[in-house]
Protein backbone atom coordinates (compact mmCIF):
# COMPACT_ATOMS: atom_id res chain seq x y z
CA UNK A 1 0.00 0.00 0.00
CA UNK A 2 1.14 3.51 -0.75
CA UNK A 3 1.81 5.95 2.09
CA UNK A 4 -0.94 8.55 2.30
CA UNK A 5 0.45 12.05 2.70
CA UNK A 6 -1.06 15.48 3.20
CA UNK A 7 1.33 18.38 2.63
CA UNK A 8 0.87 21.69 4.46
CA UNK A 9 3.05 24.26 2.71
CA UNK A 10 3.98 27.92 2.27
CA UNK A 11 5.51 27.26 -1.10
CA UNK A 12 8.89 28.83 -1.48
CA UNK A 13 11.87 27.15 -3.14
CA UNK A 14 12.42 24.47 -0.49
CA UNK A 15 8.71 23.64 -0.32
CA UNK A 16 8.81 23.21 -4.11
CA UNK A 17 11.68 20.77 -3.70
CA UNK A 18 9.75 18.87 -1.03
CA UNK A 19 6.60 18.68 -3.16
CA UNK A 20 8.57 17.42 -6.14
CA UNK A 21 10.26 14.72 -4.03
CA UNK A 22 6.83 13.53 -2.87
CA UNK A 23 5.43 13.54 -6.40
CA UNK A 24 8.34 11.41 -7.63
CA UNK A 25 8.20 8.86 -4.80
CA UNK A 26 6.70 5.58 -6.04
CA UNK A 27 5.39 4.63 -2.60
CA UNK A 28 3.43 7.83 -1.95
CA UNK A 29 -0.13 9.01 -2.54
CA UNK A 30 -0.68 12.72 -1.93
CA UNK A 31 -4.26 13.21 -0.76
CA UNK A 32 -4.08 16.99 -0.96
CA UNK A 33 -2.01 20.09 -0.35
CA UNK A 34 -3.11 22.77 2.09
CA UNK A 35 -1.52 26.20 1.84
CA UNK A 36 -0.60 28.72 4.53
CA UNK A 37 0.96 32.17 4.84
CA UNK A 38 4.71 32.08 5.37
CA UNK A 39 7.57 32.43 2.91
CA UNK A 40 5.31 34.71 0.87
CA UNK A 41 1.69 35.94 1.15
CA UNK A 42 -0.98 33.27 0.77
CA UNK A 43 -2.00 34.24 -2.77
CA UNK A 44 1.58 33.70 -3.94
CA UNK A 45 1.77 30.40 -2.04
CA UNK A 46 -1.32 29.18 -3.90
CA UNK A 47 0.04 30.25 -7.30
CA UNK A 48 3.42 28.70 -6.55
CA UNK A 49 1.94 25.39 -5.48
CA UNK A 50 -0.07 25.17 -8.69
CA UNK A 51 3.05 26.02 -10.71
CA UNK A 52 4.94 23.13 -9.13
CA UNK A 53 2.10 20.72 -9.84
CA UNK A 54 1.89 21.92 -13.44
CA UNK A 55 5.57 21.36 -14.19
CA UNK A 56 5.20 17.87 -12.72
CA UNK A 57 2.02 17.14 -14.69
CA UNK A 58 0.07 16.50 -11.48
CA UNK A 59 -2.75 19.00 -11.60
CA UNK A 60 -5.01 16.20 -10.37
CA UNK A 61 -3.83 16.82 -6.78
CA UNK A 62 -6.25 19.15 -4.94
CA UNK A 63 -4.87 22.41 -3.54
CA UNK A 64 -6.70 24.20 -0.73
CA UNK A 65 -6.36 27.80 0.49
CA UNK A 66 -5.63 27.91 4.21
CA UNK A 67 -4.84 30.63 6.75
CA UNK A 68 -3.62 33.96 5.38
CA UNK A 69 -2.22 35.28 8.66
CA UNK A 70 -0.89 34.04 12.01
CA UNK A 71 -3.10 33.63 15.06
CA UNK A 72 -1.72 36.65 16.95
CA UNK A 73 1.69 37.64 15.62
CA UNK A 74 2.65 40.23 13.07
CA UNK A 75 3.15 38.88 9.56
CA UNK A 76 6.60 37.65 8.56
CA UNK A 77 7.77 36.70 5.08
CA UNK A 78 11.08 35.47 3.64
CA UNK A 79 11.25 37.51 0.44
CA UNK A 80 14.93 38.29 0.95
CA UNK A 81 15.70 34.60 0.45
CA UNK A 82 12.90 33.16 -1.69
CA UNK A 83 12.12 36.29 -3.69
CA UNK A 84 9.10 38.54 -3.40
CA UNK A 85 6.89 35.98 -5.15
CA UNK A 86 8.35 33.08 -3.16
CA UNK A 87 9.80 31.32 -6.20
CA UNK A 88 12.87 33.34 -7.06
CA UNK A 89 11.06 36.20 -8.82
CA UNK A 90 10.90 34.38 -12.15
CA UNK A 91 7.15 34.55 -12.88
CA UNK A 92 5.46 32.29 -15.39
CA UNK A 93 3.00 34.29 -17.52
CA UNK A 94 1.33 31.02 -18.47
CA UNK A 95 1.12 29.73 -14.91
CA UNK A 96 -2.10 28.12 -13.65
CA UNK A 97 -4.80 30.45 -12.39
CA UNK A 98 -6.34 30.48 -8.94
CA UNK A 99 -9.60 29.25 -10.48
CA UNK A 100 -8.02 25.78 -10.30
CA UNK A 101 -8.03 25.83 -6.50
CA UNK A 102 -10.51 23.84 -4.49
CA UNK A 103 -13.35 25.90 -3.06
CA UNK A 104 -13.13 24.18 0.30
CA UNK A 105 -10.96 25.98 2.84
CA UNK A 106 -7.69 24.37 3.84
CA UNK A 107 -8.44 23.79 7.51
CA UNK A 108 -11.76 22.09 6.77
CA UNK A 109 -10.12 20.00 4.04
CA UNK A 110 -7.38 18.98 6.46
CA UNK A 111 -9.90 17.84 9.04
CA UNK A 112 -12.01 15.95 6.49
CA UNK A 113 -9.10 14.20 4.73
CA UNK A 114 -7.69 12.96 8.02
CA UNK A 115 -11.12 11.89 9.28
CA UNK A 116 -11.78 9.85 6.13
CA UNK A 117 -8.40 8.10 6.39
CA UNK A 118 -8.02 7.58 10.12
CA UNK A 119 -4.75 6.01 11.17
CA UNK A 120 -3.36 6.14 7.62
CA UNK A 121 -2.33 9.75 7.03
CA UNK A 122 1.14 11.19 7.49
CA UNK A 123 0.95 14.97 7.68
CA UNK A 124 4.05 16.88 6.55
CA UNK A 125 4.09 20.50 7.73
CA UNK A 126 6.69 22.75 6.12
CA UNK A 127 4.96 26.08 6.79
CA UNK A 128 4.08 28.09 9.88
CA UNK A 129 1.73 25.82 11.84
CA UNK A 130 -1.37 28.03 11.68
CA UNK A 131 -3.50 25.61 9.66
CA UNK A 132 -2.70 22.75 12.04
CA UNK A 133 -3.44 24.84 15.13
CA UNK A 134 -6.84 25.94 13.82
CA UNK A 135 -7.64 22.38 12.69
CA UNK A 136 -7.09 20.89 16.14
CA UNK A 137 -9.34 23.53 17.65
CA UNK A 138 -12.08 22.52 15.22
CA UNK A 139 -11.52 18.80 15.87
CA UNK A 140 -9.72 18.17 19.20
CA UNK A 141 -9.47 14.46 18.36
CA UNK A 142 -7.62 15.10 15.10
CA UNK A 143 -4.09 14.17 16.30
CA UNK A 144 -5.27 10.72 17.39
CA UNK A 145 -6.46 10.09 13.83
CA UNK A 146 -3.03 10.75 12.31
CA UNK A 147 -0.44 8.09 11.62
CA UNK A 148 2.39 10.59 12.08
CA UNK A 149 3.34 14.26 11.85
CA UNK A 150 6.57 15.55 10.33
CA UNK A 151 7.50 19.19 10.94
CA UNK A 152 10.20 21.37 9.47
CA UNK A 153 10.61 24.03 12.11
CA UNK A 154 11.98 25.04 15.46
CA UNK A 155 15.52 25.04 16.70
CA UNK A 156 17.46 22.97 19.21
CA UNK A 157 20.33 25.26 20.18
CA UNK A 158 18.55 28.65 20.36
CA UNK A 159 20.10 29.70 17.04
CA UNK A 160 17.66 31.85 15.11
CA UNK A 161 17.42 32.53 11.41
CA UNK A 162 14.58 35.07 11.67
CA UNK A 163 14.81 36.45 15.19
CA UNK A 164 17.71 36.12 17.63
CA UNK A 165 16.48 32.77 18.88
CA UNK A 166 13.66 31.91 16.46
CA UNK A 167 13.50 29.70 13.37
CA UNK A 168 11.23 31.13 10.65
CA UNK A 169 8.25 28.72 10.71
CA UNK A 170 7.91 28.90 14.50
CA UNK A 171 8.70 32.62 14.73
CA UNK A 172 6.09 33.37 12.05
CA UNK A 173 3.34 32.02 14.34
CA UNK A 174 4.61 31.11 17.83
CA UNK A 175 1.11 30.55 19.24
CA UNK A 176 0.32 28.06 16.50
CA UNK A 177 3.60 26.20 17.05
CA UNK A 178 2.87 26.08 20.80
CA UNK A 179 -0.62 24.67 20.23
CA UNK A 180 0.62 22.01 17.83
CA UNK A 181 3.43 20.83 20.10
CA UNK A 182 1.03 20.69 23.05
CA UNK A 183 -1.93 19.00 21.39
CA UNK A 184 -0.60 16.82 18.57
CA UNK A 185 0.29 13.70 20.53
CA UNK A 186 0.66 11.44 17.50
CA UNK A 187 4.18 10.25 16.58
CA UNK A 188 5.93 13.55 15.78
CA UNK A 189 9.22 14.11 14.00
CA UNK A 190 10.98 17.47 13.84
CA UNK A 191 13.59 18.62 11.33
CA UNK A 192 15.04 21.64 13.11
CA UNK A 193 16.97 24.57 11.66
CA UNK A 194 20.34 23.48 13.03
CA UNK A 195 19.79 19.91 11.87
CA UNK A 196 19.08 21.02 8.32
CA UNK A 197 22.18 23.23 8.33
CA UNK A 198 24.40 20.36 9.42
CA UNK A 199 23.04 18.18 6.64
CA UNK A 200 23.44 20.79 3.89
CA UNK A 201 24.00 19.64 0.31
CA UNK A 202 27.49 20.08 -1.16
CA UNK A 203 27.64 22.66 -3.94
CA UNK A 204 29.22 20.12 -6.28
CA UNK A 205 26.14 17.93 -5.94
CA UNK A 206 23.81 20.90 -6.48
CA UNK A 207 25.60 21.81 -9.71
CA UNK A 208 25.31 18.26 -11.02
CA UNK A 209 21.71 17.92 -9.83
CA UNK A 210 20.54 21.09 -11.55
CA UNK A 211 22.42 20.27 -14.77
CA UNK A 212 19.92 17.55 -15.69
CA UNK A 213 18.33 18.19 -19.08
CA UNK A 214 14.66 17.89 -18.14
CA UNK A 215 11.79 20.40 -17.86
CA UNK A 216 11.69 19.84 -14.09
CA UNK A 217 15.41 20.57 -13.75
CA UNK A 218 15.03 23.71 -15.87
CA UNK A 219 12.23 24.84 -13.58
CA UNK A 220 14.30 24.15 -10.47
CA UNK A 221 17.34 25.95 -11.91
CA UNK A 222 15.18 28.97 -12.57
CA UNK A 223 13.40 29.25 -9.23
CA UNK A 224 16.41 28.37 -7.05
CA UNK A 225 18.95 30.73 -8.63
CA UNK A 226 18.20 33.58 -6.22
CA UNK A 227 18.18 31.47 -3.06
CA UNK A 228 21.35 29.63 -4.02
CA UNK A 229 23.12 32.92 -4.68
CA UNK A 230 21.98 34.09 -1.25
CA UNK A 231 23.06 30.79 0.31
CA UNK A 232 26.59 31.19 -1.06
CA UNK A 233 27.00 34.63 0.49
CA UNK A 234 29.36 35.07 3.42
CA UNK A 235 26.60 36.44 5.65
CA UNK A 236 24.36 33.42 5.09
CA UNK A 237 27.18 30.94 5.62
CA UNK A 238 27.70 32.50 9.05
CA UNK A 239 24.08 31.68 9.88
CA UNK A 240 24.37 27.96 9.28
CA UNK A 241 25.99 26.03 12.07
CA UNK A 242 28.44 23.82 10.15
CA UNK A 243 29.37 22.94 6.62
CA UNK A 244 29.29 24.84 3.37
CA UNK A 245 26.40 24.01 1.08
CA UNK A 246 22.75 24.43 0.23
CA UNK A 247 20.15 23.94 2.95
CA UNK A 248 17.02 22.38 1.44
CA UNK A 249 15.15 22.90 4.74
CA UNK A 250 11.66 21.58 4.02
CA UNK A 251 12.79 18.69 1.86
CA UNK A 252 14.47 16.99 4.84
CA UNK A 253 11.17 16.59 6.69
CA UNK A 254 9.42 15.30 3.56
CA UNK A 255 12.18 12.78 2.87
CA UNK A 256 11.87 11.41 6.39
CA UNK A 257 8.12 10.99 5.94
CA UNK A 258 8.49 8.84 2.83
CA UNK A 259 11.47 6.69 3.87
CA UNK A 260 11.56 5.11 7.32
CA UNK A 261 15.28 4.31 7.00
CA UNK A 262 16.34 7.85 6.07
CA UNK A 263 16.87 9.07 9.67
CA UNK A 264 20.16 7.62 10.96
CA UNK A 265 20.32 9.31 14.36
CA UNK A 266 17.70 10.99 16.52
CA UNK A 267 16.63 11.62 20.09
CA UNK A 268 13.27 11.73 21.85
CA UNK A 269 12.47 14.62 24.14
CA UNK A 270 9.50 16.69 25.29
CA UNK A 271 9.33 20.12 23.69
CA UNK A 272 7.38 23.35 23.87
CA UNK A 273 7.60 26.88 22.44
CA UNK A 274 8.48 30.05 24.32
CA UNK A 275 5.79 32.71 23.89
CA UNK A 276 6.83 35.50 26.25
CA UNK A 277 10.57 36.13 26.00
CA UNK A 278 11.82 39.46 24.71
CA UNK A 279 14.54 37.64 22.75
CA UNK A 280 13.31 34.05 22.81
CA UNK A 281 9.68 34.31 21.62
CA UNK A 282 9.11 31.53 19.09
CA UNK A 283 12.10 29.48 20.24
CA UNK A 284 11.58 25.74 20.66
CA UNK A 285 12.47 24.56 24.16
CA UNK A 286 13.78 21.03 24.77
CA UNK A 287 12.93 19.67 28.21
CA UNK A 288 15.84 17.32 28.96
CA UNK A 289 15.22 17.60 32.71
CA UNK A 290 11.51 16.74 32.29
CA UNK A 291 10.26 19.73 34.25
CA UNK A 292 7.22 19.90 31.96
CA UNK A 293 6.09 16.38 32.98
CA UNK A 294 4.91 15.76 29.42
CA UNK A 295 4.23 12.17 28.40
CA UNK A 296 4.47 12.96 24.72
CA UNK A 297 8.01 13.13 23.34
CA UNK A 298 8.92 14.16 19.82
CA UNK A 299 11.67 12.67 17.68
CA UNK A 300 14.34 15.27 17.00
CA UNK A 301 16.18 14.39 13.79
CA UNK A 302 19.97 14.63 14.13
CA UNK A 303 21.55 12.94 11.11
CA UNK A 304 20.21 11.40 7.91
CA UNK A 305 21.44 9.24 5.06
CA UNK A 306 22.52 12.05 2.77
CA UNK A 307 23.06 9.67 -0.18
CA UNK A 308 19.43 8.56 0.00
CA UNK A 309 18.40 12.20 0.17
CA UNK A 310 20.42 13.00 -2.93
CA UNK A 311 18.80 10.09 -4.77
CA UNK A 312 15.35 11.45 -3.91
CA UNK A 313 16.30 14.88 -5.21
CA UNK A 314 17.67 13.43 -8.45
CA UNK A 315 14.51 11.38 -9.00
CA UNK A 316 12.39 14.49 -8.37
CA UNK A 317 13.84 16.19 -11.45
CA UNK A 318 13.72 13.23 -13.84
pLDDT digits 0-9 by tens, 198-250: 999 999 999 999 999 999 999 999 999 999 988 887 666 565 545 578 999 99
- Scanning 3-145, the segments in alpha helix (DSSP H) are 13-24, 42-55, 79-82, 106-116, 130-138, 142-145
Least confident span in 17-21, 33-37, 236-240, 275-279: 236-240
State residue 178's pLDDT score.
98
Catalytic residues: 10
Share of the chain above pLDDT 90, in %: 92
Enclosing domain of residue 265: 3-316
Within the chain, strands assigned E span 3-9, 28-35, 63-65, 121-125, 146-152, 188-191, 263-269, 271-273, 284-286, 298-304
User: Quick one: how far is CA 5 from the chain centroid?
Assistant: 13
Q: How many domains does the chain have?
A: 1
Nearest Cα neighbor of 3 from 265, 300, 262, 198 is 262
Cβ contacts of residue 193 below 8 Å, gap of 6+?
153, 154, 155, 159, 160, 161, 167, 168, 249
Gap between the Cα atoms of 79 and 82, Å rounded: 5
Q: Residue 306 is part of a domain; what is its CATH number?
A: 3.90.245.10
Q: Are 58 and 23 in contact (CB under 8 A)?
A: yes
In this prediction the pTM is 0.97
Write the DSSP symbol of residue 201: B
pLDDT digits 0-9 by tens, 151-196: 999 999 998 999 999 999 999 999 999 999 999 999 999 999 999 9
State residue 233's pLDDT score.
77
State residue 243's pLDDT score.
52
Amino acid sequence: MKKKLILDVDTGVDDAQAIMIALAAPNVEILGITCCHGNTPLENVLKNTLRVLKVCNRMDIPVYPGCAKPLLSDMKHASDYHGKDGLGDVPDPNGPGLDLLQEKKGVLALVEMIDKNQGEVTLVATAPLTNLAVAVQQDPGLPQKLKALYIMGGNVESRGNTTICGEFNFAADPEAAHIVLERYTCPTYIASWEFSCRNSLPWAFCDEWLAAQTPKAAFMRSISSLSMEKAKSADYQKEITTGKGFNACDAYALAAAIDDTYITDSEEVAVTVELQGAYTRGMMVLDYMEHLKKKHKVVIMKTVDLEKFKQMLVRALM
